[in-house]
Amino acid sequence: MCTSLLYRDASNRAYLGRTLELSLELPYQVAFFPKETELSSVVQGHPSTSWTMRHAAIAVTMPAAPPAVGAVAGSADLKVIEGLNDAGLTFSVQSYSQASGPQESFDTARAAISAVDLGAFVLGQFSSVAELKEALTNLQIVLEPVPILGGLEMPFHYAVHDTTGASLVIEFHRGVRTVYDNPVGVMTNAPQFSWHLTNLDNYTFLSNVDRSKARFMDYDAAQPGSGIAKAGLPGTDTSVDRFIRAVYYANFAEKQTEPDKAVQMVAHIMNNFDRPRGIAIDPPELGSAHLHVEGHALKTVPTEFTSWTSLTDLDRRLFLLRDSGGMNYACIDLNKLAGASDFFAVPMRQITPSTANVSALFAPSGTL
């Protein structure tokens, strides 16, 4: 469903790459939340939680409930899926089907926050993973049904990164919340994050060194070309295999010295997690379950594909996006929005660039 990874350049600056896979196209909105935006979260049976955005943020969003025809979504309607704030903190929502279950006992006299509002709360209030981790000890987070997902209880888990390269995973497994420090900066989907780290212990043999020669009895074997180092990497698109591959690429990719080159490197890395339609299909009698979104019914055999990919330069506050319609990225510089004071949302399909046609450069003047 999703893959995210943190890459560090030669100066240890942090960059985040992330893909989102679903079996249907959704009307994602790219939204700017300015400082001083007033937001709140209401959980039935609890006092509401209200906050003022201390940090401006740019984010990919979706509504939690099906919008009325012709309605214009506001800051309270759109929920953060992937975002960056002006302190360089990122927040990522990824599918986790094992989230729902009996939840811990909550103090109903105290305010609580719905998990659907967690992204806006985190990006609006915190500047570092350490700040957030401390706040989480006293924060009541409730998994509530999401109307647009047919009433599923927030089937997701969450990754947070900051400019120091610190990473955190917030996971609800069968309703029980666990907060993990993330030493590898990678997250995919189920099983539990701790299981993925244990599974990584099975891959201590991985290396980026090509061993292209060997002697077997009296025969000297030699590879005809380079690339054998990747032979031990698992090859499927399951969350288990993607986790291992993401760790491999983030760890071994060449450490760039220039930030622009580092962003390009993350783009190249994320190409390895790009899934075209039809590469794997899920017939009802053989395949796995998929998220069903109200008003967006599947009309064909499901095939998961990469809906969009984001790249984030945490240090320079740059947020780049491309959708399934092209391979070029649009870049949003959060620094340049520092003086903006109004909430604003734009359909993703309107900002992702198409491929440029440069034929005229190769033709005599006036012939095209």
pLDDT digits (tens, 9 = 90+) for 123-157: 999 999 999 999 999 999 999 999 988 888 999 99
Is residue 314 within 8 A of residue 163, CB to CB? The reply is yes
Residue 283's pLDDT band, with cuts at 50, 70 and 90, is confident
Q: Reply yes or no on whether the pLDDT at 28 is more than 90.
A: yes
Q: Is the pTM for the entire model greater than 0.75?
A: yes
pLDDT at 366: 63
Q: What is the spatial distance between Cα 333 and Cα 318, in angstroms, rounded to a whole number?
A: 5
Q: Which residue has the higher pLDDT, 204 or 288?
A: 204
Q: Reply yes or no on whether the pLDDT at 268 is more than 70.
A: yes
Q: Reply yes or no on whether the pLDDT at 368 is more than 70.
A: no
Q: Reply yes or no on whether the pLDDT at 237 is more than 90.
A: yes
Q: Tokens representing 167?
A: 């990473």
Residue 297's pLDDT band, with cuts at 50, 70 and 90, is confident
Is residue 82 within 8 A of residue 91, CB to CB? The reply is yes
Domains annotated for the chain, with CATH where assigned, are 2-191+255-362 (3.60.60.10)
pLDDT tens per residue, range 199-235: 999 999 999 999 999 999 999 999 999 999 999 999 9
pLDDT at 298: 76
Is residue 61 within 8 A of residue 345, CB to CB? The reply is yes
Q: Reply yes or no on whether the pLDDT at 266 is more than 90.
A: yes
| Range 264-293 average pLDDT | 90
